[in-house]
Structure 1
Amino acid sequence: MQYIPRKRRRKVAEINVVPYIDVMLVLLIIFMATATVVTQGVSVDLPQAQSQPLSTESEPPLVASVTVDGEFFLNNGSVDQNQSLQLDELAALVAAELQLAPNRPVVVNGDGRVPYDQVIQLMVTLQAAGVPSVGLMTDSGDQ
């Protein structure tokens, strides 16, 4: 009997990625379907809570105000409180104040009848001026 040498098969060290592609496509479809549900707003009744006043030990806050007429004001001690400002002027003044006192609190004082858009514009302007966090002034209602 004659010996016939057999060819040895080389082992293939490849990963079959087809199942991973299938899983990725399924996940993509699931995320696309749920993304529309997540981004829609839900109507909720927000809780009411007592607000805490700022501590008297901290620096007096910068108060950015917006009136029902859409005029903006800044009360920082150096600018006349009765002088209406444009948003870019207000941003420049706030940025200058924060250069002098970076930890100075900034709060928004808005009339209750002010359109929501005006308050958001003011808050975006303050954020662009470098304010790390903005507080909202409230009335305690104990009058």
Structure 2
Amino acid sequence: MPAVASRSGGRRRRAMNEINMVPFIDVMMVLLIIFMVSAPMITTGLVDLPSVGKAKTRPQSVVEVVVQSDDKLELKIDQGPSQPITLGALADQVLSAQNGSDNVPVIISADKQVRYDSVMKVMDTLQRHGVQRVGLSVKQGG
């Protein structure tokens, strides 16, 4: 018996250390074809954005806050002259310009060069102090 064992011992099969890549490539090719065929069928989502409406008549009284490009603020009441103002005093001035009436709209105007953060600080300050009807000024037709 020992002589037979020595003959077969030299011819043992070795375990394969390699991964067969052919099934993996086949699966990847099938997935690629599925995605290529289904991609044109996917519809893109549409976002329904609000549009800017045109008011029939201009309100009698309007309070406008102008945000300058250097983050300085100006206050205009009823198309009057601009007055420089600080962010801390803005809410009190706007509330006194509204004379206790929530129907007086407040419009925030800013150049497109002004940082979004500056405009949001003004809007947040006004809303925290209870100012109603705060809106943003937009450029028509552009």
- Bucket of the pairwise TM-score, normalised by the shorter protein: 0.5 to 0.7
Mapping for residues 15-30 of structure 1, pairs under 5 Å: none
Residue 46 of structure 1 and its aligned partner are, at CA, apart by 6.4
- Equivalent residue number for residue 6 of structure 1: none
Note the aligned Cα RMSD (angstroms).
2.7
Residue 114 of structure 1 and its aligned partner are, at CA, apart by 0.5
Find out whether 1:138 has 2:131 as its counterpart: no
Distance 2:111 2:79 in 1: 23
Distance 1:62 1:78 in 2: 8
Deviations for 1:13-50, whole angstroms, at most 9, x for unmatched residues? Answer: xxxxxxxxxxxxxxxxxxxxxxxxxxxxxxx9966665
- Equivalent residue number for residue 120 of structure 1: 120
- Equivalent residue number for residue 68 of structure 1: 69
Find out whether 1:56 has 2:67 as its counterpart: no
TM-score by length of 2: 0.57
- Equivalent residue number for residue 42 of structure 2: none
Deviations for 1:92-119, whole angstroms, at most 9, x for unmatched residues? Answer: 1111123343211111101111011100
How many correspondences in the alignment?
A: 98
Unaligned runs of 5+ in 1: 1-43
Residue 69 of structure 1 and its aligned partner are, at CA, apart by 1.0
More relative contact order, 1 or 2 (CA 8 Å, 6+ apart): 1
Unaligned runs of 5+ in 2: 1-44
- 4+ long deviations beyond 4 Å: 44-50
For residue 131 of structure 1, what is the amino acid of its counterpart? V
- Percent of aligned pairs with the same amino acid: 28
